Amino acid sequence: MQDRRTALLAFTAIAAAATLPADLASAQRPGAKPPRLRRGDTVGLIKPASFVAEDFDLQLAMEAVSAMGLVPKAAPHLLARYGYLAGRDEQRAADVNAMYADDSVRAVLAVRGGWGSARILPHLNFDVIRANPKLLIGYSDITALHLAFAARAGFPTIHGPNAGSPWGKLSWDWFKSLVFDGETPTYRNPIATEDRLVQRDWRTQTIRPGKAVGRLLGGNLTVLTALMGTPYLPSFDGAILFLEDVDEAEYRIDRMLTQLALAGVLRRVAGVVFGQCTNCRGTGPSYGGFTVSQVLRQHLQPLGVPAFAGALFGHVDDQFSLPVGARAEIDATMGRIRILEPVVG
């Protein structure tokens, strides 16, 4: 076991960086863009939330990065563990700070989500992060970092697969188009290959038709609502809000959307896209209860803005790579998301 852990760490040049307190100022660098990725670039691997139980899973994540033509560089504390977390808060934050201070690292990729990213926000050095624009890539609990970066760093990040995700062809093609090729893709769920007269898989549902333009902001609904009332949430004025979740009963989705409504977030957005809500079904008696689809309509239809559900992002094997903080247009009638600007320089 120790030999395997030592071999994994051999992927990295271990360079520790001191954890500095986050700057409370919210100054941004308008127009700053991270560099696009090219074959041979070094990508930093971090675990800002939960630990990975199996060393082999970490090996698979590193092999996936290598298969992209990139060079994985493990953060100094990548193998640390503290309870259900991947090391103490200060260690996980130090890894993020180190990757943004390291000139050899071109982008930063989370190995997995889980829980814990919000705990490190007070320990992040946003002066260093803001001065070194690099793509942060990941989803689920990584939403806490995406939103904090949108509020405090001023450059786009990528809500997309983690390093430990399956990385099927669809996920890879969407990611490559955005991050390697510097394109402005249009995302629309693929046509399913099921043998049916009417497609059932990967369908989108229009909640309110129309088009809207705004800055893409959002991610995991549970994580987003947990940041309410903190200084790490960006302004949602005129934004395209995108949301997803997993393992939440219908009433919990209702409760969290109610919180966003009561906090004034929903009435400020220009449009809404709800992605996948995987395993979002209560375990108790369901007769007479609301479905997730009904809950979404109750909250989103009265907003009077374009909204649709079922887009292919969230806790699914294949998912879009959505640039958090970038301008996009949604077509709720057609179930499309069109990126309006390159997110890499």
| Strand 211-220 versus strand 240-246 pairing type | parallel
- Choosing from 244, 248, 250, 329, the catalytic residue is 244
Angstrom distances, CA of residue 232 to CA of 52, 137, 223: 26, 18, 12
Q: What one-letter code names the amino acid at 156?
A: P
- Residue 140 appears among annotated catalytic residues: yes
Cβ neighbours of residue 170 closer than 8 Å, sequence gap 6 or more: 190, 312, 318
Euclidean distance between CA atoms 163 and 45, whole angstroms: 8
Q: Angle, to 10 degrees, between the axis of helix 55-67 and the axis of helix 2-9?
A: 30
Closest CA to 273 of 345, 191, 204: 204
Rg (CA), the chain: 19
- Residue 244 appears among annotated catalytic residues: yes
Euclidean distance between CA atoms 94 and 99, whole angstroms: 9
3-state secondary structure at position 162: coil
- Residue 77 appears among annotated catalytic residues: no
Q: How many helices (H) and strands (E) does the chain have?
A: 9, 14
Euclidean distance between CA atoms 337 and 275, whole angstroms: 11
Strands (E), the chain: 42-46, 71-74, 105-110, 135-138, 157-159, 186-188, 205-208, 211-220, 240-246, 271-278, 307-309, 322-324, 327-331, 336-339
- Choosing from 140, 165, 171, 321, the catalytic residue is 140
Name the residues annotated as catalytic: 140, 244, 315
